[in-house]
Amino acid sequence: MRKKGLYNVAVVGATGAVGEEMIKTLEQRKFPVADFLPLASSRSKGRSVKFNGEEYDVEELKDSSFENIDIALFSAGASRSLEFAPHAVKAGAVVVDNSSAFRMDPLVPLVVPEVNPQAIARHKGIIANPNCSTIQMVVALKPLHDFARIKRIVVSTYQSVSGTGKKAIEELDTQTRDIFNMRDVEVSVYPHQIAFNCLPQIDVFLDNGYTKEEVKMVNETKKIMEDDSIKVTATAVRVPVFYSHSESVNIEFERPISPDKAREILSKSAGVEVRDEPARSFYPLAIHAAGKDPVYVGRIRADETIPHGLNMWIVSDNIRKGAALNAVQIAERLIA
């Protein structure tokens, strides 16, 4: 167990897009790790991963994997979280879960450290990491909500394929090559070709005509901001981009807030970087956000159709702040 301020850390889904980024983030941020345990499926038997210069064999995820583990970072899908997180908690670990499995459970804190770090203290063994699209939006909007109270948010997302995992990254790559080489395109991860296309469907459709991803943004935003009165409506779109999600966000406020005031507030806000110089075409771009930590905000302008409204463009690396970095930041707060 815990040795002199060092922690035994397991990464569940260590061979995946998010798991690999978690390992890199733990390393980069010098998380105080004693023993490190990478876990994945039986498919990864015989593989190893590098952490802090040492090779670690990937072990198969089992009920008994968590003896002696202090912190378990989960990113192996919602059904694995539902099945194995309770075993980790029972063994005495604190779970930071990247899936949607526990996010809306009233007993589970849903945390973005820049927004609601106070919720961490209420945990009963599991802390949930929000959806990538929610995280970048609330990091940018919470400081504006504190100033002028948000009434309503209308968001459209432009989400990269890395949000679906390694197979989807490969599929965009393969489809693009096949098209350039006049070969037939194979579709397997998404319902349609993603190369040179935009898909207005992320996750499954629900009875109300919205997708599950859109409903995640609505419900998670209210829970993290601890304000059920905020109205949110979303359209989530998958685009042929490898890394970083972009969002067009329209916000209606209760009180006045000018674009200049919003820029001033955001330029001092934790985790945010303002890129907003239209005269020289300087605004947030997916290709610039990839591999970086901040949530980038630009194109801040008044919505001239309502009394107190703003439009903006919010971009962040979905695998980093949208998943791995946010989870590691939660773990850092936990041990602080």
Interface residue list for ligand 3JM (CB under 6 A) = 77-79, 99-100, 131, 163, 216
- Rounded Cα distance between 55 and 38, Å, is 10
Query: One of 87, 132, 145, 308 is an active-site residue; which one?
Result: 132
Phi/psi at 25 (5° precision): -70, -40
Query: Which of 128/300 has CB closer to ligand NAP?
Result: 128
Q: Which is nearer to ligand NAP, 254 or 293 (CB)?
A: 293
Instruction: Give the residue at shortest CB distance from ligand 3JM.
Output: 77
Could you confirm whether 132 is annotated as catalytic?
A: yes
- Measured over the CA atoms of residue 118, residue 122, residue 124 and residue 127, the dihedral's sign is negative
Write down the least CB distance from residue 42 to ligand 3JM, Å. 17
Q: Which of residues 105-144 bind ligand NAP (CB under 6 A)?
A: 129, 131-132
The partner in contact with residue 185, picked from ligand 3JM, ligand NAP, none with C-beta cut-offs of 5 to 8 angstroms by kind, is none
43: partner contacted, choices ligand 3JM, ligand NAP, none (Cβ within 5-8 A by kind) = ligand NAP
The answer to whether 194 contacts ligand NAP (rule: CB under 6 A) is no
d(CA 89, CA 69): 10
Question: Least CB distance from residue 101 to ligand NAP, whole Å?
Answer: 8
The DSSP code sequence of 93-123 is PEEEE-SSSSTT-TTS-B--TTT-GGGGGG-
The reply on whether position 18 binds ligand NAP by CB under 6 A is yes
Q: How far is the CB of 216 from ligand NAP (least distance, A)?
A: 9
How deeply is 26 buried, as exposed, middle or buried, from its count of CB atoms within 10 A (0-12, 13-18, 19+)? buried
- Selected catalytic residue, list 87, 123, 145, 245: 245
Contact 48, 22 (CB under 8 A): no
Cβ closest to ligand NAP, residue 8 vs residue 318? 318
By CB under 6 A, residue 165 contacts ligand NAP:
yes
Q: What whole-number distance in Å separates Cα of residue 199 and Cα of residue 194?
A: 7
- Asked whether 62 and 3 are in contact (CB, 8 A), the reply is no
Beta strands in 123-168 (DSSP E): 126-128, 150-159
Secondary structure (3-state) at 235: strand
Phi/psi of residue 232, nearest 5 degrees: -130, 135
E strands in 199-262: 231-238, 245-253
CB-nearer residue toward ligand 3JM: 40 or 274: 40
Is 245 annotated as catalytic? Answer: yes
CB of 264 to ligand 3JM, least distance (A): 32
Which DSSP category does 234 fall into?
A: E
Which of the choices ligand 3JM, ligand NAP, none does residue 221 contact, using the CB cut-off of 5 to 8 A by kind? none
What is the smallest separation between the CB atom of 153 and ligand 3JM, expressed in angstroms? Answer: 19
Q: Is 323 in the site for ligand NAP (CB under 6 A)?
A: yes
CB of 96 to ligand 3JM, least distance (A): 13
- The catalytic residue positions are 132, 245
